[in-house]
Amino acid sequence: MYPAFARPAAYAPPSSFDLYVAGLGAVGRALLEQLRTLPADGPRPRLLGSCTTREAVWHLPATAERTRWDGILRRLETHPVRPLVFVDATGCPDVARRYPRLLAAGVHVVTPSKRANTFEQAYFDTLARVARAGGAQYRYETTVGAGLPVVQTIRDLRATGDRIRSVRGCASGTLTFLFSALGRGEGFSRAVRAAAEAGYTEPDVRDDLSGEDVARKFLILARTAGYALERSEITVESLVPPGFAALPPAAVPACDARWHDRARAARADGKVLRYVGTLAAGRVTVGVEAVPAASPLGQLDGTDNLFEISTDRYPTSPIVVRGPGAGPEVTAAGVLADVLKAVA
């Protein structure tokens, strides 16, 4: 006979919660649009307010004022309703430095911005500690892989006692798009321009071309996997020569010949170029690799990302996560999923 257990008190998730959205760029706007399509039988958000870097609007009551971050945070800290979720879609480092205030006040923080998680290791540790103490959640799934469940997979594995041995893959939809175009014989600068026009690139495309975007993503994965690491410890290969990162994007065509020759050499060997990140033995490297055209990485197209996660439980057949890794709609959907998990 099975032992008798006391029946736990029934838990009902909140039927509504308050939400504040900071940053109304492409992701922020897409998020607000997706809020309108939530199913009627699920939790319903009440939009408390939203802001750009210049203007803040409070919907309850309807008022508008100049954006002052300290004032916004004070109002959220003292807001009497919980759950309350703060979404930071600004990409502003000053806002990212203020997360501990909100978390300490029991306000859930959700962000697609890589800023906070790529400050010094001590700050990353502080966010986790303050969130626990404040009974709040800090969720950042979309900082890596847009809407793909990469961060949560690593978190779940660690929570169940597994150890992450390595993570390898393509973490930039922009660079998958770029190198797929090179593999088809297209020009480097033309592919960069097409990616920017489609909205796949970072606000400053030089973050993609320098490798900085992928370096930040793998830094986040390494820290989430339990490794202490600083950005200065990551080896990064840039797609443009030294000095180009300081030039405007219009200088990119000067790299066309170099990448044409490199892509052609890879094709002659039955391979294609991919920008690959690797976390292994607690170290991270990111750079261009020639991979077999028939391999999973070689078959990536469009804006797909692919991650191979090896652990103590999955040492030889890694867990594979693949899907679109760029675009405001899929990123906003991932942010919304984080919001709903925070209040569940």
Give strand ranges (E) for the chain. 16-22, 44-51, 55-59, 62-66, 84-88, 108-110, 138-139, 164-170, 235-236, 271-280, 283-292, 304-311, 319-324
Q: Name the active-site residue from 114, 217, 271, 341.
A: 217
Helix (H, G, I), strand (E, B) or coil at 245: helix
Nearest to 101 by CA among 124, 80, 127, 65: 127
User: Are 162 and 311 spatial neighbours (Cβ–Cβ below 8 Å)?
Assistant: yes
Provide the sign of the torsion angle of the four alpha carbons 218, 220, 221, 225, taken in this order: positive
Q: Which residue has the tokens 């020759």?
A: 261
Q: How many CB atoms lie within 10 A of CB 34?
A: 14
Active site residue 341: no
Residues with a catalytic annotation lie at: 217
